């Protein structure tokens, strides 16, 4: 991932302003340590910090069209850039960068070209012919982006809040799936798929369609000119990404450059569930596996850095970001610049344990829609900023546009969790990859219960965080929390502790408004908390808060999922020679 910063129409073209833009752009250098670029046209400034993943030799930014009248600074990956180049036959490209197509697409089609891009991106485009500009962000918000306004009428754009928070009167998160046009004078939504209106779909479940769509999503993300690997926790999602990558790596350009053997990475406390499962999957797939251990104290010592980089005070995001942050530093030290990761599956398929309590398919589907729309505030934010803190790029195939459309068109009845029928969470995904002839994964991994990343790295991690917060926040502080923090008032000592750190780095009111709030249990939305009255007494984002569902629930009881006798499931069309067997 790169870092972009733009200041547009600031009524100041002085050297002092240029120096200030350079200074602010340096705050993003961790995102792109390979090269820096700055373009100035009058009182418009476009700055770029580059992480070179495609065409490292010639893809420096900003990028231009043929006569340099259109200028672009981009953070992203355009997976269909070769196909788009073929459609732009009359255009000449200066570089081999995947992002080089953007200026030419605008020249050819105007502002409505954004939906043609298949990838993840945030970009600012300046048309010097009429001094107009446009800004766009990818469909789900995998790449972070903020927009701000100065008192002088200027518009500011930055990949991270720290690039503009000190110089804007007001700033906010740039909405995913939108572009902003100076000609239109505001935002326009460019991404509006059928599932966005949350109406219940009715397409029957076809396992092979899910399998093909996800394999395609992974394969297109193997586009790289630098060493890469996969994050492998041993859970379903990361294991499927690793399995598909291992199957299709041979014969790719990446394999010819860097060898056909896949590298995998896992992080956890000594003896954690993820380390054990990750090692087993790595041995099964034959990857070169790298295990990174951290202690609770290592994580606690990193909390301030994590909050500075991830720019949130959300409890579950900080819990999960910290081990990912520590692992990313280790991965980058090995010379790896890109990794594939498994974010997004739980939102699409209802994989969080609280989905066990969904009362009907309509509620189930609407909750998945709400979760996907909010991903840019949570898991996308974590995955991108935790890795980008060290110049490492994370790609997330579950959030591929085509795959989301395929999965979200399914009748949600088939996604519903029905233990009495052997259907655990994410059953439709598990079954799609349950291949007896060429197994993708061992059965017990394919049917491993969901562990949230902050739980899977070791249960004592969260317990240690709570203890540490309790030593730094007293009851008197909590009694005044509503007066000190009237917006998103912290209701636990852990939340109060994170909020204090966040406010020190980002004291502006605009900053605190970028962070989501509201009631949650096991990562649910506030609406889903209503599904079970008992949850209101156990408001914690950990999966262990799903009492009666998680095998290590907080109530101390070893409550197992009710399991039927071992049998194949025959209430849906099955692939030839395939059945689902639940292994205990």
In order along its 584 residues, the chain shows pLDDT tens digits of: 799 999 999 999 999 999 999 999 999 999 999 999 999 999 999 999 999 898 888 878 999 999 999 999 999 999 999 999 999 999 999 888 999 999 999 999 999 999 999 999 999 999 999 999 999 999 999 999 999 999 999 999 999 999 999 999 999 999 999 999 999 999 999 999 999 999 999 999 999 999 999 999 999 999 999 999 999 999 999 999 999 999 999 988 889 888 899 999 999 999 998 899 999 999 999 999 999 999 999 999 999 999 999 999 999 999 999 999 999 999 999 999 999 999 999 999 999 999 999 999 999 999 999 999 999 999 999 999 999 999 999 999 999 999 999 999 999 999 999 999 989 999 999 999 999 999 999 999 998 876 655 566 767 999 999 999 999 999 999 999 999 999 999 999 999 999 999 999 999 999 999 999 988 887 889 889 999 888 877 666 555 555 556 555 544 433 333 333 323 333 333 222 222 222 32
Task: Write the CA distances from 166 to 30, 47, 156, integer angstroms.
Answer: 19, 17, 11
User: What six digits make up the tokens of 326?
Assistant: 């520590």
Distance in angstroms (rounded) separating the CA atoms of residues 407 and 503: 39
Task: Write the CA distances from 45 to 15, 53, 158, 171, 338, integer angstroms.
Answer: 12, 24, 12, 18, 29
pTM for the predicted model, two decimal places = 0.92
Residue 60: what pLDDT?
86
Through-space distance between the first and last CA atoms of the chain, rounded to whole angstroms = 40
Task: Write the CA distances from 213 to 99, 403, 473, integer angstroms.
Answer: 24, 5, 48
Residue 556: what pLDDT?
40
Considering all CA atoms of the chain, what is the largest pairwise distance in Å, rounded to the nearest integer?
Answer: 75
Q: How many CA atoms lie within 13 A of 100 on its CB side?
A: 19
Task: Decide: 39 and 73 in contact? Cβ < 8 Å.
Answer: yes
User: What six digits make up the tokens of 52?
Assistant: 């070179």
Q: How many CA atoms lie within 13 A of 246 on its CB side?
A: 25
User: What six digits make up the tokens of 259?
Assistant: 């060898």
Q: Which residue reads 């609406």 in tokens?
A: 527
Tell me whether residue 2 is one of the annotated catalytic residues. yes
CA 458 to chain centre: 22
The sign one gets for the Cα dihedral 208, 211, 217, 222 is negative
Residue 535: what pLDDT?
84
Q: Which residue reads 């002092």 in tokens?
A: 16
Distance in angstroms (rounded) separating the CA atoms of residues 545 and 254: 42
What is the Cα Rg of the chain in Å? 23
Residue 2: what pLDDT?
95
Q: Which residue reads 């596996």 in tokens?
A: 289
Per DSSP, which regions of 284-416 are E strands?
288-293, 338-340, 393-395
């Amino acid at each position: 991932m790169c870092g972009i910063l733009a200041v547009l129409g600031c009524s100041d073209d002085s050297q002092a302003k240029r120096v200030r833009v350079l200074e602010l752009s340096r705050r993003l250098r961790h995102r792109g340590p390979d090269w820096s670029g700055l373009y100035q046209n009058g009182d418009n400034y476009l700055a770029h910090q580059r992480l070179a993943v495609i065409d490292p030799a010639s893809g420096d930014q900003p990028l231009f069209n043929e006569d340099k009248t259109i200028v672009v600074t981009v953070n992203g990956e355009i997976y269909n850039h070769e196909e788009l180049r073929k459609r732009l036959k009359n255009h000449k490209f200066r570089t081999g960068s995947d992002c080089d197509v953007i200026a030419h697409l605008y020249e050819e089609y105007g502002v409505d070209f954004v939906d043609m891009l298949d990838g993840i991106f945030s970009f600012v485009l300046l048309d010097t012919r009429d001094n107009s500009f446009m800004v766009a962000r990818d469909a789900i918000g995998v790449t972070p982006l903020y927009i701000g306004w100065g008192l002088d009428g200027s518009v500011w754009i930055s990949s991270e809040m720290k690039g503009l928070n000190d110089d804007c009167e007001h700033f906010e998160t740039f909405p995913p799936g939108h572009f902003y046009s100076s000609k239109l004078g505001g935002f326009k939504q460019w991404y509006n798929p059928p599932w966005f209106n949350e109406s219940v779909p009715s397409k029957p479940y076809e396992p092979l369609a899910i399998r093909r769509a996800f394999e395609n999503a992974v394969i297109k993300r193997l586009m790289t000119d630098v060493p890469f690997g996969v994050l492998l926790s041993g859970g379903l999602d990361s294991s499927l990404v690793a399995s598909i990558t291992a199957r299709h790596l041979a014969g790719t350009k990446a394999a010819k450059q860097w060898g056909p053997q896949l590298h995998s990475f896992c992080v956890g406390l000594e003896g954690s569930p993820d380390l054990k499962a990750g090692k087993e999957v790595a041995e099964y797939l034959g990857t070169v596996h790298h295990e990174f251990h951290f202690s609770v104290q290592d994580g606690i010592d990193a909390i301030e850095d994590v909050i500075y980089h991830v720019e949130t005070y959300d409890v579950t995001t900080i819990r999960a970001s910290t081990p990912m942050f520590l692992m990313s530093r280790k991965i980058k030290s090995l010379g790896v610049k890109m990794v594939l990761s498994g974010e997004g599956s739980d939102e699409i398929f209802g994989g969080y344990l609280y989905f066990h309590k969904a009362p009907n398919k309509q509620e189930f589907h609407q909750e998945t829609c709400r979760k996907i729309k909010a991903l840019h505030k949570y898991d996308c934010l974590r995955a991108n900023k935790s890795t980008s803190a060290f110049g490492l790029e994370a790609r997330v195939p579950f959030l591929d546009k085509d795959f989301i459309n395929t999965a979200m068109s399914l009748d949600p009845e088939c996604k519903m969790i029905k233990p009495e029928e052997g259907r655990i969470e994410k059953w439709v995904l598990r079954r799609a990859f349950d291949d007896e002839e060429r197994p993708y994964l061992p059965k017990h991994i394919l049917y491993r219960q969901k562990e949230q990343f902050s739980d899977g790295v070791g249960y004592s991690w969260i317990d240690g965080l709570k203890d540490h917060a309790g030593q730094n926040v007293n009851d008197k502080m909590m009694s005044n929390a509503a007066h000190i923090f009237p917006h998103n008032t912290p209701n636990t000592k852990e939340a109060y502790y994170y909020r204090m750190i966040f406010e020190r780095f980002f004291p502006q009111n605009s900053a605190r408004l970028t962070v989501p709030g509201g009631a949650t249990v096991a990562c649910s939305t506030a609406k889903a908390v209503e599904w079970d009255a008992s949850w209101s007494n156990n408001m914690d984002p950990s999966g262990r808060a799903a009492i009666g569902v998680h095998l290590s629930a907080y109530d101390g009881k070893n409550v197992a999922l009710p399991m039927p006798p071992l049998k194949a499931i025959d209430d849906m069309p099955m692939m030839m020679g395939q059945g689902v067997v639940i292994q205990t």
